[in-house]
Amino acid sequence: QVQLQESGPGLVKPSETLSLTCTVSGGSINNSYWSWIRQPPGKGLEWIGYVFYTGSTNYNPSLKSRVTISLDTSKNQFSLKLNSVTTADTAVYYCAKMRGGSVNWFDPWGQGILVPVSS
Amino acid sequence: DIQMTQSPSSLSASVGDRVTITCRASQSISTYLNWYQQIPGKAPNLLIYGALSLQSGVPSRFSGGGSGTDFTLTISSVQPEDFATYYCQQSYSTPFTFGGGTKVEI
């Protein structure tokens, strides 16, 4: 059973870069799509983007200018970088496996990591 | 972007009630619609994919319906563990988008 676990700093300052890593266990990162989704406290879900195991990516246009999602197949990990953050980027960040192809869905998800943006 | 609108935003139910949540897309998305359950403090969990298909391990009291722009999630007999927030999500086109959520309360 594939499991995902997010890791990263617990606090980021405004204007700096948010960097998170998702470690995949119980399965290979190859031959799959991997995604990041976030949820501001008390609010709904926002899809950030995905990376395919080949390295190809697709980002939400609302964040595209600030986002990079990449993967490290040797470590079975993928990562998120979001630069020039503001307090509006404060959220729980989830990594998830995305079922790709003609029909897509997110399953399973990591437990999530809260990243406050504050000076 | 495709906008997803859920109704109601919250509802009160008793154990054993039949509950239906509605999700409407701003354009036709065929059956490219998924449903998730989120318990407070936890990650969302996939319930229904492709509008109709029950994810493995999900109780059969959950069912999905609809196509085009209008979709439903039905819980045939609400159980105590079903009190949570439910989200729809379209996978017809990127950016993938979610509904605003429906909180099911006791």
Model pLDDT for residues A88-114, shown as the tens digit of each residue: 999 999 999 999 877 899 999 999 999
Asked if the Cβ–Cβ distance from A105 to B43 is below 8 Å, we say no
CA distance A33 to A98: 5
**A24 burial level (CB within 10 Å; 0-12, 13-18, 19+):** buried
Asked if the Cβ–Cβ distance from B43 to A61 is below 8 Å, we say no
CA distance B44 to A39: 11
Asked if the Cβ–Cβ distance from B89 to A45 is below 8 Å, we say yes
Report chain B (106 residues): mean pLDDT per 10 consecutive residues. Answer: 98 97 98 97 97 97 98 97 97 97 96
Inter-CA distances, B29 with A9, A23, A97, B43, B101, Å: 38, 32, 22, 25, 19
Distance from CA of B92 to the nearest CA of A (A): 8
The predicted-structure confidence for A78-90, as pLDDT tens digits, reads as follows: 999 999 999 999 9
Cβ-Cβ pairs closer than 8 A, A with B, add up to: 55
Instruction: Give the closest of A45, A107, A110 to B98, CB-based.
Output: A45
Among residues 8-37 of chain B, which lie with CB inside 8 Å of chain A? 32, 34, 36
